[in-house]
Amino acid sequence: MDVAAGVGPDLGVGGAAGVRRWSARPSLACAALLLALIIGAGPAPGKPVERLLVLGDSIAAGYGLPAEESLPARLQAALRQAGYEVEVINGGVSGDTSAGGLARVQWMLGDKPDFVILELGANDALRGIDPKETYANLDGILAKLDAAGVKVLLAGMLAPPNLGPAYGRAFASIYPRLAAAHHCLLYPFLLDGVAAIPSLNQADGIHPNARGVEAMVGRMLPYVERLLGKK
């Protein structure tokens, strides 16, 4: 009998050869059935992973840090540890301004995020850009996110003190005004608890080090959970 050709055993034939042919068929049939079940079943459908985009500048990009120590990477790790299946997308570009963010936000929406943390404006302040211009750019970004149905956590920023109190007040007012206008969550100051603390910053005194990023994640996490609708 040729088992591979599908010819059945001759039940009337005795001897060792007949026994071998008879015992081979069930084994091959079971193996074929198991393979069919595996292929046919495929992976079990799971709950879609939600996507969170961090749209920002060098702080989001992880300037001066390994990729795994960047703010998006550490935030994703914290969310996973808390039991949330969320993919955090690093949309940071070092040196980016609010104008740069407005120019690329539509392209970033190609990643189909469900949520966005918007952290832009620090480089505007460092360059002394008119707060009205920064407001208009961020307003444009938020309008595009609103139109895409994306929920937003707006991360505020403060201007350096050397620009004077009037500039500082005008700049600081940008974020609460935008949050009210677009009905989005506001994290008042992105570098809260980290700014001006040498042990939490790199040598430039501007960008957080790995310890600083962990401190930021710890402070931001309750706000991010609210953004995700988990709290």
Is 114 labeled as catalytic in the residue annotation?
no
Amino acid letter for position 206: I
Q: Which of 57, 124, 182, 207 is flagged as catalytic?
A: 207
Tokens 């040729």 map to which residue?
Answer: 2
Percent helix, percent strand, percent coil in the chain, to nearest 5: 55, 15, 35
Q: Which of 57, 58, 94, 111 is flagged as catalytic?
A: 58
Q: Is 44 helix (H, G, I), strand (E, B) or coil?
A: coil
Amino acid letter for position 151: K
Q: Are 89 and 126 in contact (CB under 8 A)?
A: no
Is 58 labeled as catalytic in the residue annotation?
yes
Is the CA virtual torsion 205, 64, 100, 104 positive or negative? negative
H or E element in which residue 226 lies: helix 210-227
- 36: tokens are 């069919």
**Cα separation, 84 vs 25, whole angstroms:** 49
Q: Which of 2, 183, 199, 204 is flagged as catalytic?
A: 204
Tokens 């990729």 map to which residue?
Answer: 67
Is 207 labeled as catalytic in the residue annotation?
yes
Residues forming the active site? 58, 204, 207
